Amino acid sequence: MKYDAIVIGSGQGGTPLARALADLGWTVAFIEERQLGGTCINTGCTPTKTMVHRAMVAHYARHAARWGVIARDVGVDLPAIVAQKDKVVRSFLEGHEKGIAQRPKLKLYRAHARFTGPHSVSVDGAPLESDKIFIDTGARPRIPEIPGLAASGYLTNESIENLTSLPGHLIVLGGGYIGLEFGQMFARFGSQVAVIQDAAQIVSREDPEVAAELQKALESEGVKFLLDAQVTQVGRVEDSLIITLEVAPDPVNPKKKSTGSLNGSHLLVATGRQPNTDDLGLEKAGIETDQRGFIKVNARLETNVPGVWAIGDVTGGPAFTHISYNDYQIIWGNLIEGKNLSTGHRIVPYSLFTDPQLGGVGMTEKEARAKGYALKIGSAPMSRVARAIERDETAGLMKLIVDASNDRILGATFLATDGGELIHILHTMMLGNLPYTLLKGAIYIHPTLAEGLWFLMDSVKPVD
């Protein structure tokens, strides 16, 4: 059967694209073998941030005496939290299903798609064709090849959020977004938590002082960290996991690494993501991928095959829901509206939903230095902000990276309560290509967290 468009995968880029094309009157084949909504709705943003919020409530209740509030016998009903999470997910899924059902030009195929040629796919044996095909198949947890791991049993972000019994001692393999969010979450639920990171700092992309401040905040809640450590073996003895490690080299003898072990009840593997491209038959279409399996695209998200585009995590770009949606906006603008949009021009904000949140945009200091910019840098602790002091939530810092040649903002970081919200102020400045000095004379509501920008702007100075 011939369609005007085929959309493979119902992530946060593919879904709005399929709907919008159908609203134009195009006939659209929409193919999804799993739940509608992709990672974000089913196993990513929606369920995890729901549970992160419940963990925050538990943390506030358990430590209420810190704010002069008496709360007794605080406990966590994990089955109830999981049920609430599932209810929120279902509400989003119902919206997706309704949005498809009300569009007669949109045909949903609940099956797996494989390319049979550059512009043809097979779905449950049925041949479908189109001059325009969009791939939005996302990614899944990448599981490292560690002896004994598979046999011993492990959790991923997809399975840990369905636990209804609290782990006694959760070991987290990976100090990135997924590992830290779930690590703090389960520590706040009541588990002992240890995070193993194979690099010298957590959140490796960030500047060292930002990572150190976040680690300090998490350690204050009981989360333990083993940095620059590699897992060499995983074993199980009855209900206990035994993790064998090689830890950081001895500073006196850098060639020597010591070994050790760590015992726990559960192991969460959070070591990255791999694209869902290995069973798409891309070779039949001649679509190129990189060594990790991500689909190669140009700045307009076009593959090497004319008429085939790729969207979202499957391209190997920043793995954020808002990036996938922006991919849709770029494709729509170019294909339908005749614009000349590209991924090369976008400024990407992001947030790690720990507490404090790590909100960032643009370049870090080390990235800006690597690109050879002359810099001005500002930094201020949240402990200077009146609103943070009043709330007794002073963990974190603000940092601003400025191009010294023109006073334009290159990047910024807010490690703070609601840091993911605050960063949008500086993101907007960057979108407008405005100098940071505009904020130096601004009036800020007192007392708000945004008032901290006054201290941040005042701290900006040239650096070597």
Last residue of a domain, one of 321, 345, 369: 345
* Mean pLDDT calculated for residue range 261-282: 96
- What does the alpha-carbon distance between residue 268 and residue 143 come to, in Å, rounded to a whole number? 10
CATH number at residue 321: 3.50.50.60
Cα–Cα nearest to 223, from 354, 115, 128, 344 = 354
Q: Domain check: are 157 and 231 in the same one?
A: yes
The structural domain count of the chain equals 3
Task: Strand 113-117: give its sheet, edge to edge.
Answer: 113-117, 120-123, 126-129
Cα–Cα nearest to 169, from 288, 34, 74, 268 = 268
Q: Which amino acid is at 405?
A: S
**Predicted local confidence at residue 167, as pLDDT:** 97
Enter the tokens of residue 441.
């004379």
Q: What are phi and psi of 17, to 5 degrees?
A: -65, -45
Q: What is the pLDDT of residues 26-70, one digit of tens each?
A: 999 999 999 899 999 999 999 999 999 999 999 999 999 999 999
Burial class (CB in 10 A: 0-12, 13-18, 19+), 392: exposed
**Predicted local confidence at residue 158, as pLDDT:** 95
Cα–Cα nearest to 166, from 82, 83, 52 = 82
DSSP state letter for 354? S
Q: Domain check: are 9 and 118 in the same one?
A: yes
**Predicted local confidence at residue 254, as pLDDT:** 67
Q: What is the pLDDT of residues 336-360, one digit of tens each?
A: 999 999 999 899 999 999 999 999 9
Of the pLDDT bands very low, low, confident and very high (cuts 50, 70, 90), residue 250 is low
Last residue of a domain, one of 286, 311, 345: 345
Who contacts 166 (Cβ-Cβ below 8 Å, separation ≥6)? 76, 78, 186, 189, 190, 191
Q: Domain check: are 136 and 33 in the same one?
A: yes
Q: What is the pLDDT of residues 405-448, one digit of tens each?
A: 999 999 999 999 999 999 999 999 999 999 999 999 899 999 99
**Predicted local confidence at residue 253, as pLDDT:** 72
Residues spanned by the domain of 221: 149-271
Alpha helices in 392-435 (DSSP H): 419-431
Q: Please identify every residue annotated as catalytic.
A: 446
What's the mean pLDDT when you consider all of the chain?
A: 96
Q: Domain check: are 64 and 75 in the same one?
A: yes
Residue found by looking up tokens 């450590």 in the block: 229
- What does the alpha-carbon distance between residue 169 and residue 266 come to, in Å, rounded to a whole number? 6
Q: Domain check: are 106 and 216 in the same one?
A: no
Q: How far is CA 344 from CA 206, 317, 430, 437, in A?
A: 21, 11, 15, 26
Cα–Cα nearest to 319, from 40, 89, 42, 49 = 40
Q: Domain check: are 244 and 331 in the same one?
A: no
Last residue of a domain, one of 345, 374, 390: 345
Cα–Cα nearest to 20, from 99, 95, 119 = 99
User: Can you count the helices (H) and strands (E) in the chain?
Assistant: 14, 23
Kind and range of the H or E run holding 405: none
* pLDDT of 365 over the 70 cut: yes
- What does the alpha-carbon distance between residue 106 and residue 104 come to, in Å, rounded to a whole number? 5
**Predicted local confidence at residue 392, as pLDDT:** 96
Q: Domain check: are 46 and 100 in the same one?
A: yes
Q: Domain check: are 363 and 239 in the same one?
A: no
* Mean pLDDT calculated for residue range 370-391: 97
* pLDDT of 309 over the 90 cut: yes
* Mean pLDDT calculated for residue range 308-319: 94
Q: Domain check: are 360 and 295 in the same one?
A: no
- What does the alpha-carbon distance between residue 43 and residue 276 come to, in Å, rounded to a whole number? 15
**Predicted local confidence at residue 317, as pLDDT:** 86
Taken in order 51, 422, 333, 312, the sign of the CA dihedral is: negative
- What does the alpha-carbon distance between residue 349 and residue 177 come to, in Å, rounded to a whole number? 14
Helix, strand, or coil (residue 235):
strand
Q: Domain check: are 257 and 293 in the same one?
A: no
Q: Domain check: are 354 and 420 in the same one?
A: yes
- Tell me the longest C-alpha to C-alpha distance in the chain: 70
Q: Which amino acid is at 414?
A: F
Q: Domain check: are 216 and 244 in the same one?
A: yes
CATH number at residue 435: 3.30.390.30
